[in-house]
């Protein structure tokens, strides 16, 4: 009986390893295929993760009051989710080698497989089909990454509170599902249109510019694209209510300090008056 249990455990571990290597193998094969089709792909990914994410955070903070210093918890959430999504966008939109070409569902069989501006004799409807298909995929990825990223950022904030009980976040943590839905809308509409257009622009620039000028243009374009993306996400998050800011309540007259602070001042004044009467 013990031997049977040992064999079952060994088979389970073996299957898990095969599954892990299978997923990793698919990713590596997909990466190689994209590098073969576009030798500049690793450079584009690096720029997207370093320069692009940084630009996205700048655009995000620039759209918030006080440059986001009072909403750093929201900014951190955007950083975590954005880093995941930017790589996913790059990977899904990149062209692949002909030997490992992607296949789309039957309804989109005649559409470009990578992005809507992919070279080829495609009709306008076929290119719009790619826009719709990729938008659906990006929305699903955005929802999943939004769930993971929001839970991760909220978990880190909770860990900070555990380590430092005096730490208080300036705003209410974003609701996980609502924030994920906001990311899904943002990815399916804004990011989908912007990144597909960006891929088309980079294809044209690669044909007409020398390598150094092309790499410089990639950096500039991806900076501008991510700044715009960060700003549009903040606007969308405000509209959906996934990132609401706490507002300090004024006193009854609408001006002056908040009620607790006013009470402290009144209490302090009463103490001074009692002390004066005592000395009299």
Same domain flag for 83 and 21:
no
Within a domain: residue 254? no
Are residues 230 and 59 in contact, defined by beta-carbon separation less than 8 angstroms?
yes
Q: Does residue 112 belong to any structural domain of this protein?
A: yes
Cβ neighbours of residue 73 under 8 Å, at least 6 residues apart? 153, 157, 169, 170, 171, 173
Residues 221, 86 share a domain: yes
Give the pLDDT of residue 1: 54
Same domain (yes/no): 232, 128? yes
80 shares a domain with 29:
no
Distances (CA, A) of 208 to 45, 205, 223, 259, 278: 21, 5, 21, 65, 89
Mean pLDDT of 45-73: 82
Per-residue pLDDT, 252: 45
N-to-C CA span, the chain = 94
Residues 31 and 55 in one domain: no
How distant is the alpha carbon of residue 40 from its chain centre? 23
Cα dihedral sign for 245, 246, 252, 253?
A: negative
Range of the domain at 214: 40-242
Q: Is the pLDDT of residue 68 over 80?
A: no
Q: What is the pLDDT of residues 1-42, one digit of tens each?
A: 545 444 455 545 545 554 446 778 888 888 888 888 888 889
pLDDT digits (tens, 9 = 90+) for 87-119: 887 888 787 876 445 667 878 888 988 889 888
Rounded Cα distance, 125 and 205, in Å? 25
- Please count the structural domains in the chain: 2
Both 71 and 147 in one domain: the answer is yes
Same domain? 22 vs 63? no
Asked, for residue 271, whether it belongs to a domain, the answer is no
**Same-domain check for residues 107 and 237:** yes
As a whole number of angstroms, the distance between CA 89 and CA 234 comes to: 19
Give the predicted TM-score (pTM) of the model. Answer: 0.67
Q: Is residue 263 part of a domain?
A: no
In this structure, is residue 275 part of a structural domain?
Answer: no
Q: Select from 242, 259, 275 the last residue of a domain.
A: 242
Q: Are residues 15 and 57 in the same domain?
A: no
Nearest-CA neighbor of 60 among 230, 240, 232, 241?
Answer: 230
Instruction: Looking at the structure, tell me whether residues 165 and 97 fall in a common domain.
Output: yes
Instruction: Provide the residue count of the chain.
Output: 280
Q: Is 268 contained in some domain?
A: no
Other beta carbons within 10 angstroms of residue 161's beta carbon come to: 13
- Give the contacts of 16 (CB within 8 A, at least 6 positions apart): none
Per-residue pLDDT of 221-278, as tens digits, reads 988 988 898 899 989 998 998 877 665 444 444 444 444 444 444 444 444 444 444 4
């Amino acid at each position: 009986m013990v031997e049977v249990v040992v064999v079952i455990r060994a088979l389970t571990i073996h299957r898990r390893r095969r599954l892990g290597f299978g997923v990793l193998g698919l990713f590596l094969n997909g990466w190689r295929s994209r590098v073969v089709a576009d030798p500049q792909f690793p450079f584009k990914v690096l720029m997207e993760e370093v320069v692009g994410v940084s630009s996205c955070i700048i655009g995000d903070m620039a759209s918030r009051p006080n440059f986001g210093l009072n909403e750093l918890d929201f900014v951190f959430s955007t950083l975590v989710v954005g880093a995941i999504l930017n790589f996913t966008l790059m990977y899904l939109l990149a062209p692949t080698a002909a030997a490992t070409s992607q296949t789309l569902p039957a309804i989109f069989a005649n559409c470009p497989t990578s992005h809507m501006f992919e070279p080829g004799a495609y009709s306008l409807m076929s290119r719009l089909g790619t826009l719709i298909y990729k938008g659906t995929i990006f929305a699903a990825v955005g929802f999943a990454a939004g769930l993971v990223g929001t839970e991760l950022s909220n978990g880190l904030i909770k860990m900070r509170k555990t380590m430092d009980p005096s730490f208080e976040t300036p705003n209410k943590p974003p609701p996980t599902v609502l924030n994920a839905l906001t990311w899904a809308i943002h990815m399916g509409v804004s990011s989908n249109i912007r990144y597909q257009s960006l891929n088309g622009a980079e294809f044209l620039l690669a044909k007409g510019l020398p390598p150094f000028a092309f790499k410089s243009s990639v950096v500039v374009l991806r900076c501008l694209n991510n700044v715009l993306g960060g700003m549009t996400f903040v606007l969308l998050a405000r509209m959906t209510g996934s990132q609401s800011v706490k507002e300090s309540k004024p006193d009854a007259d609408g001006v002056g300090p908040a009620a607790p602070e006013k009470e402290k001042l009144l209490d302090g004044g009463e103490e001074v008056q009692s002390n004066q009467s005592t000395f009299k």
